[in-house]
Structure 1
Amino acid sequence: MVKVLIADNHPIVRKGIKSLFKNSTEIDVVGKAATTSELFDFISQEHVDVILLEMDLPEVNGITALRRLKKDFAEMKVIMFSSHSEDVYAVSTLRAGASGYLSKSVATNVIKDAIVKVANGGIYISNELAQRLAFDESTNKPRRFFRRLSTREVEVLKLLASGKRNKHVAEELNLNEKTVSTYKARLMRKLNVDNLVDLLQQAKALELL
């Protein structure tokens, strides 16, 4: 049995997924966490094979939580489970150590398939994303859009979008303020804007937020 922890701040999601695998002979949902603190408290005491991790889990953003997980629990398998754009965040989270990325819009059988695949050492992304990563549908050339932002730039962007100032972004990511300012400047250059308001608007238009 694959032991799974659901880390999501929405009660209906936690209950729904646990109910989904209630009678499963392959997957056992051994715990639920609504915050980052609950997540780390649980895995420090209980064995878990796979974590289904919401991108916007409270206290620490999903990519930062993922980095900490892979640092402290290197063998832990993590599937990011989110409503955010797969095109951007799947690549960023895989770079940060995730073993898979699941959109919250997928069919329930896909959740099972992804968990089993990751538990057996595989990587899960949708077939559609795999095709888009390989070739642009119109030009048949490798796409560069997915590589436009680094994982750290995505982290900084999400924290800025949540209303945090440079100082607080630096504290959460364990960086200095100057480095955060550098990342912000890179983001503005890559998204072709010259102020924070336009940066966030452009990011939303590109489904980066």
Structure 2
Amino acid sequence: MDLIKLAIADDHKIFREGLKFTLEDYVQLNLIIEATDGKDLIAQITNNKPDVILMDIKMPEMDGMQAITYIHQHFSDTKILVLSMHNEDKYILNAMRLGASGYLLKNAEPEEILDAIVTAHTKGFYFNDNLSVTMAKELLGANFMHRLHEKDARLNEREIEVLKLICEEYCNTEIADKLFLSVRTVEGYRTRLLEKIGSKNVAGLVMYAVKNGIVTI
């Protein structure tokens, strides 16, 4: 794979430095731009276009949402990954509607950030569990849900508990803590739920849970 030209835009210097330190070991990345806000970012990419941008949404001068809109319109080949501390659905959905290719939280592990960069560059988008759940909720609420090819899933009490927590966007470690289980056991429950329900991802689990009255949105 050719080097992925990367840009970082965040108004907090300490976070930028930490992110650069986190990513410097990945030889497939070439950091070509470091910007303090959307206006600064756009000025730089005009003459030095990156493949992928990691960008905060709360910045001075021009915030991330405004920058996403401009970049998506004028540099459509450049993929934008939001890297934010805001986990609310309204931020996630707005960023995706405006043209972002993915949405990560600032506490994401380095491996996930790298995976997101590579996936967005090669496939054009990156969906993690958190984003999949949010998008599934939006589709369900807007009545655009397609029927799933569902198996006659008979879930036991523990599987239902795990499913509810998945729908509430808890990760495997958090579910394990809440239910006093090992992480490996939770991973096993997640795999069995996908198999029983006949889904390939978390969004399918959410749709199933809503349709069958296990959770409400």
TM-score over 0.5 (shorter chain): yes
Structure 2: runs of 5 or more not aligned:
143-217
Any idea what SS the aligned residue of 1:13 has? helix
CA contact (8 A) 1:133 1:143 kept: no
Distance 2:60 2:137 in 1: 36
Amino acid aligned to 2:53 = I
Note the 1:110-121 alignment, pairs <5 A.
110-121=112-123
What is the number of residues matched between the two proteins?
140
Shift of 1:143: 4.3
Distance 1:71 1:135 in 2: 27
CA contact (8 A) 1:35 1:58 kept: yes
Q: Where does residue 28 of structure 2 map in the other structure?
A: 26
2:126 matched to 1:124?
A: yes
Shift of 1:135: 5.8
| Runs of 4+ residues deviating >4 angstroms | none
| Aligned residue among 87, 90, 93 for 1:91 | 93
Q: Where does residue 67 of structure 2 map in the other structure?
A: 65
| Aligned residue among 135, 140, 143 for 1:142 | 140
CA contact (8 A) 1:86 1:103 kept: no
Q: Once superposed, what is the RMSD of the aligned Cα atoms?
A: 2.0
Percent of aligned positions that are identical:
31
Distance 2:88 2:123 in 1: 21
Cα gap change, 1:129 to 1:143, in 2 (>3 Å): farther
Shift of 1:86: 4.3
Q: Work out which of the two has the higher radius of gyration on C-alpha atoms and give 1 or 2.
A: 2
Any idea what SS the aligned residue of 2:123 has? coil
When the two structures are superposed, what TM-score results if normalisation uses the length of structure 2?
A: 0.59
Distance 1:42 1:89 in 2: 25
Q: Where does residue 41 of structure 1 map in the other structure?
A: 43
Cα gap change, 1:47 to 1:133, in 2 (>3 Å): closer
Distance 2:81 2:133 in 1: 20
Amino acid aligned to 1:2 = I
When the two structures are superposed, what TM-score results if normalisation uses the length of structure 1?
A: 0.61
